[in-house]
Amino acid sequence: MPEVLDSLAKIGEQWELGESVWRVWGCILLHSCPVSQKEIEEGTGYGSGLITINLQKLKMADMINEINMGGDIRYYVNTSLTDAFGKFSKRFFEDNIKPVIVLLSENLDKIENAKVKKALCELINECKKLNPLVLVLSEIIEDINTSAIAGEEMKERNGIIDFTGTFRNSIADIKEGSKMVFTGSVAVCTPFIELLAYTVRDRGFEMLYVPRANAKEARKIKEIENIGYTVVDEKGNPKDPDAVVVLGGLAMPKFGCSPEDVTRMIEDISGEKKPKIIGVGFMNTFERAGWDKKINFDTLIDETVVK
């Protein structure tokens, strides 16, 4: 137990509530039944005053509940670690990042120095980029928790291995040395594209990334020694691809694009070829946005569904 509590405390150092709060939460989590404050004191080595403060913080964060058992107040955990991470990601953005965006935006017109004004505009844009990332992270965490399955079934799932393996199988009919074009939303889809590129590293493909279906911004995907596959700042020619991989982030509001934009891009770069169109998404993104009926996918891959 001490090692587990130490690990949770280290997580707490990085999160808003702090080390001691997470140690208390871990102590409650590791008990099979509701625990008293005295038992928490014994499990953590903290004094009663600090325990009281930490319990109040945990209740305010909706991470524990209390129950009266025979006149004795006892505490139990009501959330998982993933739930807690999702909650604090949202809280961090709402409490820390959003106020910065508002403050800078409200005072931007008062800045006369052009260089300073440009720097502030860039800072505002960087802060705004965090919003879709937090939303996507929260949705993934919610999906993980709502899709939880029994222990025996969980062992049969191979997570990222199944995902990358399914993608690899979907392009098994594409000849080695072919051209593959990925298109996805800025920032959010890029890591997944780099992962998929690594998955087919032995096929000799020429791979390119087209952000937000804008073919003019096509960049090459290359292997960098000791780093892996990554999108590099080197323009490439997406014309005449043998396969086009469309990432689900494009179908998400605010930081994606329209399905018509994707169809138009595919038509523009295809020439006389008819490339294989593969959709790769999570949490039924394409279906929920209706893209599965607007884009003529040859294969549609989802976190839990393959068509």
| pLDDT profile of the chain (307 residues), mean per 10 | 52 58 79 81 89 87 78 78 61 69 79 80 72 56 48 43 84 94 91 92 95 96 90 96 95 86 96 91 85 93 62
What is the pLDDT, as a whole number, of residue 201? 92
Give residue 206's identity as a one-letter amino acid code.
E
- pLDDT given at position 265: 97
pLDDT of residue 105: 81
User: Which pLDDT does position 233 carry in this prediction?
Assistant: 94
Q: What is the pTM of this model?
A: 0.51
**pLDDT of amino acid 160:** 67
The pLDDT of residue 143:
54
Determine the pLDDT at residue 279.
96
In angstroms, the CA 293 to CA 305 distance is 16
Residues 247 and 182: beta-carbon distance below 8 Å: yes
CB–CB of 209/219 below 8 Å? yes
pLDDT of residue 24: 85
pLDDT of residue 284: 79
What's the confidence (pLDDT) of residue 153? 38
- Of 204, 194, 182, which Cα lies nearest the Cα of 230? 194
**pLDDT of 115:** 81
